[in-house]
Structure 1
Amino acid sequence: MNTEYLVKKWLENNLTPAEQEAFDALEDAALYKEIAEEAQRFKVTDKQRVISFDRLNQRLETKKDPRTSWTGIITRIAAILVLGGLSYLAWVSFSTTTISTVVAENRTITLPDESIAHLNQNSQLSFRSYNWEEERALTFEGEAFFEVKKGKQFDVQTAQGTVSVLGTKFNVIASENTFEVTCFEGLVRVIHQKDTVQLPAGKQFKSLAGSTGTQRVATAEPYWLKNRSVFKNAPLAEVLNALEQQFEVKIEYDADQDLYFTGAFTHDTLEKALTSITAPLPIAYTIIDSTKVIISRTDE
């Protein structure tokens, strides 16, 4: 049946049962009834007049205006949520991902190109994934072993220098006093202050206390991956600093001691590590508590 015909007869309260059923099935039937009720409720004349068809249609259009109807409000809310979601996705895409480890914690991270970073304790790396294919670069502090997929240049940027590779395996230590890069596979370029050094597999670059140099290494991967710290003719200060970081303990000793250590300590317990370090040297240790150790000379 014609909608206008049904509405006019409904306004005149003159619908047959079949026409009433057809009217109730109209998409806007509920709105027609609501508008008519509102018109009667706000009428101020003495005579009760039925709202005209034209007036009804006019109000219907207002009701259906997306700026005022519930449908419009819901639509606007949905739009806001969609825009909010897009903004969040944009923020996530362009934001920096930062991953950290604490004392005695190691983590393995898969980067956007499936390169892998094994983080040693007390380390942190940050990168942006949205343009990773164009610029493979991350900032780093601490110690990590990288297994880099072949591709564009891969940069590890530290406060002490930058390590650049195309695809290789290498280890980086970047702390306040130490900058050390060891190449285990491929070729690594190290930029440190004014120096640029090319490291092939089996070579190590090291800067400690203002002194820099390169040396050969005979291992296939970093010892810390096997829970060991290994040293070759290393100053005692360097060894004790590594022990402090590994066990989060403060060690008091005579910094002027001209002692060097060749050997290793495991990461199992503090006491085992101290025994490994002090046994071959003329020093002894005293554990005050879980946070403090005193190292003293035994040949004085």
Structure 2
Amino acid sequence: MLDDKKDDIFLSRWISGELSEEELLEFKSHPEYEYYAKIMAGADALDLKDYDADKELSALKSKSSYTAKENSNSVIKLWPYIAVAASIAIILGIFLFNPNESFSTDYGEQLSVTLPDGSEMILNAKSLASFDKENWKENRMVTLEGEAFFKVKKGSKFTVTTENGEVSVLGTQFNVQSQNSFFEVTCYEGKVSVANKENKKILTAGKGYRNLENIEPESWVFDIKQPSWLSNTSSFRSIPIKYVFKELEEQYDLKIKTTEINLETIYTGTFPNNNKEVALRTVFSTLGMKYSVSKDSKTVVLEK
């Protein structure tokens, strides 16, 4: 979110078209630029006519002999302008003073976010995270949909809440992935508490926990120092291929057609997140599957 008075002036200059080309380019790279643009687009769509105050005042004086009813009608005509202006002010006010910070990533993107206490959150592709910056000291809580790696500064309880469960720590490094029926937590430093409908687990460094649909929850140990996706490699350990295909789609903006394919087939392996051809060849050759790619490179069709 933009900050205080200086940023209010910056927004005002943007709305009035006074930003330099360099300032405009910098502003367009801001994570919340699209939301401001949508608000202004909505205001422009109202198609208001220009209002000439002096002209309207003169006209009003010339009609001073009209009846009270006629005068009231001329006043009523001003209300659409007032109502629209008030609506825009309310919308901007709610948006600008909303204490929640929200960050998201697109296909194949990663985003590093410094939280208010100096903790770090790195989002993987197609992920969304938000938190209440106003009450961060009292409530260090992040809501996550997707995957993120956290480096948490020591302090009060830090919680990552997802649709599939919660992860709580005091200070540590850990990774959380929660999408649809997929829930996985790996601890790289310190200790984390993982709680969902099925279980409550304590993970120390080098331990992981996973809960998938129709599969018994499982725990395992590992000896790596950080999740592989931070170095542009997606890794999988004994996991149904439907989750591997989902990761391919999110990293490369693809649609994989899987007609008559057993999506519960178990896969262990990796693929690069920065080379689509190598990624597809690696996964499907490992599985012994033939495939073809559409002309627009957006669709992968698996062959029996």
Normalised to the residue count of structure 2, the TM-score between the two structures is 0.65
- For 1:279, the aligned partner's letter is S
- For 1:265, the aligned partner's letter is F
**Unaligned residue ranges in structure 1 (runs of 5+):** 1-83
Of the two, which has the highest radius of gyration? 1
- The answer to whether the 8 Å contact 1:230/1:265 transfers is yes
Shift of 1:94: 5.7
- For 1:102, the aligned partner's letter is D
**Unaligned residue ranges in structure 2 (runs of 5+):** 1-88
**TM-aligned CA distance change 1:195 to 1:257, over 3 Å:** closer
**Greater Cα offset, 138-147 or 231-240:** 231-240
2:264 & 2:190 partners in 1: Cα distance? 37
2:185 & 2:169 partners in 1: Cα distance? 12
SS for the counterpart of 1:232 is strand
The aligned runs of 1:51-130 (5 Å cut-off) are 95-130=99-134
Which residue of the partner structure matches residue 199 of structure 1?
203
**TM-aligned CA distance change 1:256 to 1:195, over 3 Å:** same
1:260 & 1:96 partners in 2: Cα distance? 40
Residue deviations 1:90-115 (CA, integer Å, cap 9, x gap): 98566211111111211110111000
SS for the counterpart of 1:271 is helix
Supply the RMSD in Å over aligned alpha carbons: 2.1
- For 2:180, the aligned partner's letter is E
The aligned runs of 1:134-173 (5 Å cut-off) are 134-173=138-177
Indicate the percent of aligned positions where both proteins have the same amino acid. 37
Which residue of the partner structure matches residue 277 of structure 1?
283
2:264 & 2:180 partners in 1: Cα distance? 22
Mapped pair 1:295 → 2:299: no
2:178 & 2:287 partners in 1: Cα distance? 28
For these two proteins, the number of residue pairs brought into alignment is 211
Q: Provide runs of 4+ in structure 1 moved above 3 Å.
A: 90-94
The aligned runs of 1:223-242 (5 Å cut-off) are 223-242=228-247
Which residue of the partner structure matches residue 268 of structure 2?
262
- The answer to whether the 8 Å contact 2:236/2:270 transfers is yes
Which residue of the partner structure matches residue 221 of structure 1?
226
- The answer to whether the 8 Å contact 2:140/2:156 transfers is yes
Shift of 1:214: 1.1
2:294 & 2:95 partners in 1: Cα distance? 49
Which residue of the partner structure matches residue 36 of structure 1?
none
The aligned runs of 1:42-57 (5 Å cut-off) are none
**Greater Cα offset, 145-154 or 265-274:** 265-274
**TM-aligned CA distance change 1:258 to 1:205, over 3 Å:** closer
Of residues 118, 131, 137, the one that matches 1:133 is 137
- The answer to whether the 8 Å contact 1:93/1:129 transfers is no
Residue deviations 1:196-233 (CA, integer Å, cap 9, x gap): 11111111111111322111122110110000011223
SS for the counterpart of 1:219 is coil
SS for the counterpart of 1:279 is helix
1:224 & 1:258 partners in 2: Cα distance? 23
